[in-house]
Amino acid sequence: MSKGLLFVLSGPSGVGKGTVCSALRTRMPELIYSVSATTRQPRAGEVDGVNYFFKSHEQFQEMILNDRLLEHAEYVGNFYGTPRDFVEDTLNAGNDIFLEIEVQGALKVMEKFPEGVFIFLTPPSFEELEQRLHGRGTETVDTIMNRMTVAADELELMKHYDYSVVNDEIDLACMRIQSIIVAEHCKITK
- Contacts of residue 92, defined as CB under 8 A and 6 or more positions apart, other chains included, come to 3, 4
- What residues contact 7, with CB distance under 8 A and at least 6 apart? 96, 97, 98, 99, 116, 117, 119, 177, 180, 181, 184
Does 49 belong to an annotated binding site? no
Smallest distance from the beta carbon of 10 to a second copy, in angstroms?
13
Cβ-Cβ contacts under 8 Å for 156 (sequence gap 6 or more): none
Residue 81 exposure: Cα atoms within 13 Å on the Cβ side = 26
To the question of whether residue 22 is assigned a binding role by annotation, the answer is no
Considering the rule CB under 8 A, would residue 162 count as an interface residue with a second copy?
yes
Q: Does the footprint of a second copy cover residue 183 (CB under 8 A)?
A: yes
Binding flag, residue 1, a second copy (CB under 8 A): no
Q: Which region among 14-22, 97-105, 129-137, 153-161 touches a second copy (by CB under 8 A)?
A: 153-161
Instruction: Tell me whether residue 22 or residue 178 sits nearer to a second copy (CB atom).
Output: 178
Residues that bind a second copy (CB under 8 A): 119-120, 158-159, 161-165, 175-176, 178-184, 186-188, 190
Annotated binding-site residue numbers for ATP: 11-18
